Amino acid sequence: MQANFIIWRTLWQKSQSRKLLTGLKRQLKGGGGQPLNDSAFWYLSDEGVDGLFELEQSEDYKKTFITDITKDMLAIAEYIAVKYAGKSNIIFTDWGCGNGQISRVVTQDLIRRGFGVTYMPVDISEKELQIASAEHKSENIKPVLCLFENLKDIFPLSVPKDTVVVHGFLGGTVGNFKKQKINDIIKSVKEEVIVHMPIVEIKNERDRCGVIKGYENKGTEKFILGPFKVCGFRDEDFVLNENGLRYKVRFENGMIKTSVTLAKNIEFEDVMLNKGTVYDITESRKFNFNQFREFIAPSCGSDVKMISKTGAIAICPAGINYKLQIINDK
Ligand SMILES: C[S@@+](CC[C@H](N)C(=O)[O-])C[C@H]1O[C@@H](n2cnc3c(N)ncnc32)[C@H](O)[C@@H]1O
């Protein structure tokens, strides 16, 4: 059984990577114009994933974005414990688990409160699933290697009596998606979904610069260039900017946007990519409370509340059972 699972997983991962890689190459050949982070390939490159962790460790990033995250996670655990006080067991699904550090605060608190907990990390990155599983090693773990867009084909699980399934999108994960796409994904889940968001208030120019600075580091560069490297590009193919990095950061309409510019003409497979071509890479939303409420309304309605000074949750009730309209076909 275990061996079959491993074979299936390897085959799935290979075919999924191939599909995503083909899509990314098609976008690269098409020239600049649309943000390439639409491709989940960004999270499949192990070098890119390492970069993501380095970014989160950088002092400027922490100063601006890491807020009362532990308080937020304890508040989420309390919400679950009160709401499901009559249940003995909880399956906690961690959508976009990353390194699993923040969800661990939730699962450990639920265990401390006497619940039997199964931790179910969901991610497209096998590397992140491995790291998150190690972080939760003392728990009962069922990792799911999957694109969020495909999860509706795996659920519903068979759920034992006395057990409730709770889905969490923790950290800033939903802010990396286009509004309709992530709301459709959330609505495709049968059980209750808790969407967490760190709230960032930008009051003045200094705050704005802080946000930009948070994203100017070697970790982000690794994340951005990771998939290009998989396609055979090299560091020197990209313009080196005045900040000593091979990408640019802008902060517009509440969105962190990054881009790279080709430093030379590059023959890529059968297409010539011209020097000066600009590729938009990431689009990551940094919300204040009202922006987050408006963003998540299509799936969660108005049930949005602050759970600490700097964190909010929105709840999508169980049973919306909505058909996914957008399927990632790259
Ligand atoms: C910004 S990280 C957040 C990590 C973690 N929740 C935290 O807050 O520390 C987003 C995570 O979502 C995963 N991810 C992004 N798009 C995905 C998709 N379409 N399907 C599955 N996983 C995806 C990435 O691999 C990554 O682990």
Binning pLDDT at 50, 70 and 90, where does residue 263 land? very high
* Ligand 1 pocket, residue 38 CB under 6 Å: no
Binning pLDDT at 50, 70 and 90, where does residue 34 land? confident
- Residue with the nearest Cα to atom 4 of ligand 1? 98
Mean residue pLDDT of the chain comes to 89
Residue 162 token pair: 């006395």
* Ligand 1 pocket, residue 66 CB under 6 Å: no
* Ligand 1 pocket, residue 27 CB under 6 Å: no
The structural architecture, per CATH, of the domain 69-200+288-316 is: 3-Layer(aba) Sandwich (3.40)
What are residue 224's phi and psi, to 5 degrees? -70, -45
Where are the domains positioned within the chain?
30-64+203-285, 69-200+288-316
- If you average pLDDT over residues 224-238, what whole number do you get? 95
Dist. CA 275 → ligand 1 center (Å): 32
Predicted local distance difference test score (pLDDT) of residue 153: 64
Residue 151 token pair: 């999860």
Residue 39 has pLDDT above 80, yes or no: no
Nearest atom of ligand 1 to the alpha carbon of 169: 6
Sheet with 255-261, edge to edge strand ranges: 248-252, 255-261, 278-285
Predicted local distance difference test score (pLDDT) of residue 18: 86
pTM given for the model: 0.90
DSSP 100: S
| Lowest-confidence segment of 43-47, 99-103, 131-135, 271-275 by average pLDDT | 43-47
pLDDT, tens digit (0-9, with 9 covering 90-100), for 149-188: 887 766 656 788 899 999 999 998 999 999 999 999 999 8
What is the end-to-end Cα distance of the chain in Å, rounded?
Answer: 31
Predicted local distance difference test score (pLDDT) of residue 16: 78
* Ligand 1 pocket, residue 141 CB under 6 Å: no
pLDDT, tens digit (0-9, with 9 covering 90-100), for 108-120: 999 999 999 999 9
Nearest atom of ligand 1 to the alpha carbon of 125: 25
Describe the crossing of helices 101-112 and 69-83 by its angle, rounded to 10 degrees. 40
* Most informative mutation of 16, 17, 46, 97 for ligand 1 (most atoms within 8 A of CB): 97
DSSP 276: T
- If you average pLDDT over residues 4-8, what whole number do you get? 60
Residue 327 has pLDDT above 90, yes or no: no
Cross-strand partners of 164: 90
- If you average pLDDT over residues 41-52, what whole number do you get? 87
